[in-house]
Chains A and B, each alone.
Chain A
Amino acid sequence: DLRDSAISSLNSPSVEGDAIKVFVRVRPPSDGTALTNGDQGLCLSVLSSNTIRLHSKPEPKIFTFDYVANMETTQESVFSSVAKNIVESCMNGYNGTIFAYGQTGSGKTFTMMGPSDSDNFTHSLRGVIPRSFEYLFFLIEREKEKAGSGKSFLCKCSFIEIYNEQIFDLLDSASAGLFLREHIKKGVFVDGAVEQVLSSAAEAYQVLTTGWRNRRVASTSMNRESSRSHAVFTITVESMEKNNEVVNIRSSLLNLVDLAGSERQKDTHTEGLRLKEAGNINRSLSCLGQVITALVDVGNGKQRHVCYRDSKLTFLLRDSLGGNAKTCIIANVHPGSKCFGETLSTLNFAQRAKLIKNKAVVNEDTQGNVS
């Protein structure tokens, strides 16, 4: 049947439109390892604003990305080249996501938040997230002035942490594990997560600070390792524009994600090649399920159902990965030669991420009609 085969090609996840933008940022080595010996002790060099050379043996390897920030690059210039554009698209009704990826200690948190010991977001070293707030509210104010009373905005935010496949609300430290749900109009959301209304960048800092502090408390008191958790800060921007009797509502999501250290993901990857051992009780022959799922995965396009869901993080951000959003990934690397292996795997990951394509669609909904 001609028609069936037309549909079957639609059944695989969509990959089309704009590729995900990939940025690489090289952090300076910590003070101890001084740079006096020139390039010695470093495993990479930045060749230009979009190429990087990894000193691998026997042949050095050259990687090309959308943008490469060297050790001298300021927080301000990282924000301008990475996030500015996404915040702007967010104002225009597109969904946007910014991920920070890299091994623990490669500078993810510095890039996204700023210096770890400071809650002060007026600090000149503040990171992408606080700067995104400032810019977003700057754009909103400008838009309001332009459109007058015809246009109004509503911003809300939530801040969650995914640890060990469980979801915790960083804005409500008393809450138990939360669940992901889907809404036919609103997509995927965390059921029961606190949503705080924001009216200024200052309020956003406040929320971010509270959540960040909760994350730290949880990591000490509840034995969660923050290097193994993902933190997702989400801002919903809703604009309403009245044009005669027609109301245009646009809404978009901006997700700012601090991913768990990539070395953890590598662990699970290498473990994937090994045989998983059975523990003391029979129930832990649990890896059997993974084997079976892998068997079903090779099923040749036949109708089937696999009883194991993808991870919480990919489910939550499904839209941002090969979906309907503008997405960029900041791959953070540490240049020290000790980090060679990790750096190589981060760059390889970033290279692969470039192949993921996104399709961004303006989120516009026309309500009401001319009566």
Chain B
Amino acid sequence: MSRQLRVPDVKRINSELFTLTYGSLVAQLIKDFEDDEEVNKQLEKMGYNIGIRLIEEFLARTNTGKCQDLKETAEVISKVGFKMFLGITPTVTGWDAEGREFSLMFDENPLTEFVELPESHKQLRYSNILCGVLRGALQMIHMKVETEFVRDTLRGDDATEMRIRLLEILQDQAPPGED
């Protein structure tokens, strides 16, 4: 029996406003840090902080129950999560044998709509904030994951691919003190 994936109605804003705001954020970070790797790190960190809050909004709006396995989690991320917040549905693919790793392929990416990366920033992972968002959100529901853009059309690759690796399922915390 597969779960009904329902995307809730949410207030929408103009995606250009969003894209341009993100663009100026990245531009400012590049100015502040000058080093691409450091900018990647900062973007990931910001995404993480967004993710740990965003998951609450997501759960409150969608009423999603617990996922049975990572396959189901992946479906919900792409078909409900990305659909609800970014209006896109990345393709889930590239499972490893144990079902602990998968890829999200982005055919479209609202973050990069007006972006051209200059030669001098080949190390920049422009959409790295998304990695942080996923890591933060999944950590809040007890999944420790590693996320990384392994390919990016902005850097001249043929596709944009995010790799997600499940490291461990975190345990519920026992009450502090007495046992």
A and B bind = no
A contacts, CB < 8 Å to B: none
B contacts, CB < 8 Å to A: none
